[in-house]
Chain A
């Protein structure tokens, strides 16, 4: 009987393995035959790998993360996008004109636009969107930029295709502030009290190039072409944002062709250098990466000490260590990125000079200085920056202790008054107009994490906002840049590029336009060759 049982067991096992073997060989055939099929015809799907999950509550009011905003750009359209003084891309608006006194702006809307559900787009939708954005309880991302000196902008419908914006006071940054806001459908959301948590967000209805098709938690967001898109039907039928948390897997999937695009780290760029299937498109996001001082900490309150530190740093060394090749970064000298209006590099550059640094330290009476540098521990770029900074300062006789922290913990620390570290690494992407940078440097502003305070800078920012003369405005902002750099509380390191690795068969990237945050200005222009 024992023998019989063993036999049965063996039979079961053998058949189990045969089954497994059978399945796997069958699937191999499946996989390879599918590959062939893919190669033969032009693909109709563009798969973009992202390393985060946009979630299923994406809406134009409260969504603020990169991937949520990418999804919004695909589904919705703004009135216009402000990409620079002479570079305004019009979408739902045909024009936006300021009055002589810069107090009212009038937007003329397109008449041929339909929502994805077939309803006509009108001025009511625009007014509704701005009203919702201004409602405090909605927590709209653009609310603060629509409030001018504690007074909200007034938005009125003139007729079905004209909207008038009335400012409470002159603000030269208003043209940018009023743009870049995506318009939501009034007929869908009307009566909704909590937009951020509304169930309607799960089935968004927009006017953009692609219609929302499906969201799969942790897996993907799928869109299909909007054939009625007002700027012409998209050329690729489907777009998918595929969620891949592991960068190594994503890089391999891109090499293999399972995904068609992914933003890679500079250190991975060499893998694609000679690739025929994938091309690299580094583009400027207007980000400024910096080393800033925590002015609540006594050790760095002296301007001489800060300047000594600036003289001992070596930008080239720090940036090559972190961004590998100058293809992927530009040295930054000003608080503004190069593409901002009134950018100047006519500021103190603090050319590396260890001797001068030591002299300054001696005259400040600071010997044997020990400083703490806060940074995001799991950010590979900041790890390298921090290590080189530590070496640079060592040469000038300053001991640096590296305080690696979790990203969220670091930003929470920064928002409070503390002395846990004397300086920290960070980066920002703000707007084009220099006025959008005031919250970083004006005394007691929301994003002034350095606790920097210079009455002259505060005054200049206030002047710059209302100055109508272009030349005078330019002079004001140049002075601001020079003063802040001279104070040495803020040491700009780098304007780095985002490196988009994309399937070489994709054409029309130029026409689609690479822009900060959203990646593509208009995805409908992409096509497979």
Chain B
């Protein structure tokens, strides 16, 4: 097993290197010069040259790549062109904000989806299945910004139950209950937008598992159908779900771009949107590198988890 895990990690490293080369290549192609983030248009040629030399920007591209990688690894992500602020500092404030929002939403969506998916799968073709499956199709089709606006209008404005802006009420920044009521609406939107796909995935996986021999054996022993569902089918259904969970790791960074923008949530989403609007290349590249690396790491994690959970896979690496 360790050999397999080791092998997977070894495979992931060249992928990360390739991703970083692609990102670096795109930065080079972008219509800006990295030195723009540190200079102003009024500086003289000589000053600009000095700054270039200080950051190694006068070196050939492959040397710059090594400087860049060294910077990334030591937490030096460069500066924003627009605000001249350190990107790693900005990210360290914003990523936790996004995680507070995305993690609970994803967790709730996962739990609800597994239950609803199992029910729908077990009752395939019956009324419950039609309702759940129908609503899921509906949910996939609804854009999240629209759902957010509807929820804001009904619960935030007309019923006036929840605040609609940001993370905190001004003045009560430390209060958890204040944070909580600010979380309700955006989390609901995210949960509803994560759910449909997961439900349909669990449902189809359940339908597949129900036709397996072990289900027939259990039925022959006279086990109650609900017992079969939760004791035996659930475990097998959860296996592929691990893959999905692993692959959604980048969602922690980019999972809520639209929702955050609508609710004015100070996370990565608003930061990303602002930098795209301002053509702030260093930030766009940093977030791109981060989320594409997370895709690879997420895949790696799900493979490893899979191998730990499912004994049948252990032998495959050898």
Contacts and interface: CB of A to CB of B under 8 A. Distances in A.
Contacts of B85: 55-57
B165 interface: yes
Interface residues of A, number: 63
Interface string A54-70: 01110000100100000
Nearest to A220: B170
Contacts of A407: 277
A32 interface: yes
Interface string B156-185: 110011111111111100000100110010
Contacts of B47: 136-137
B44 interface: yes
B43 A137 contact: yes
A301 interface: no
A3 B224 contact: yes
Interface stretch (B69-77, B204-212, B268-276): B268-276
Nearest to B92: A217
A184 B161 CA distance: 45
A2 B163 contact: no
A507 to B, nearest CB: 21
A246 B273 CA distance: 11
Given A31-B160, A137-B47, A245-B270, A408 B84 contact: no
Contacts of A2: 223-224, 226-228, 230-231
Interface of A: 2-3, 5-6, 9, 13, 16, 23-24, 26-28, 30-32, 34-35, 45, 47, 52-53, 55-57, 62, 65, 136-140, 143-144, 196-197, 216-220, 222, 238, 240, 242-246, 248-250, 252-253, 255-256, 258-259, 378, 406-409, 412
Contact of A406 (B157, B270, B279): B279
A246 B264 contact: yes
A30 B161 contact: no
A222 B230 contact: no
Contacts, number: 157
Contact of B84 (A6, A31, A57, A250): A57
Interface residues of B, number: 62
Given A27-B180, A45-B170, A47-B170, A249 B165 contact: yes
Contact of B274 (A9, A53, A57, A408): A53
B278 interface: yes
Contacts of B273: 245
A27 B41 contact: no
Contact of A259 (B80, B165, B262): B165
B274 A242 contact: no
Nearest to A216: B266
B315 interface: no
A255 B157 contact: yes
A33 to B, nearest CB: 12
B264 to A, nearest CB: 4
B194 interface: no
B231 A5 contact: yes
Contacts of A13: 115
Contacts of B93: 216-218
A53 B160 contact: no
Given A2-B231, A31-B163, A256-B164, A139 B170 contact: no
A217 B80 CA distance: 13
| 9 tightest A-B CB contacts, nearest first | A139-B40, A2-B227, A218-B266, A55-B83, A219-B266, A408-B279, A27-B181, A244-B264, A217-B93
B84, B223, B224: most-surrounded residue (chain A CB, <10 A): B84
B259 to A, nearest CB: 10
B206 to A, nearest CB: 16
A218 B171 contact: no
A344 to B, nearest CB: 33
Nearest to B264: A244
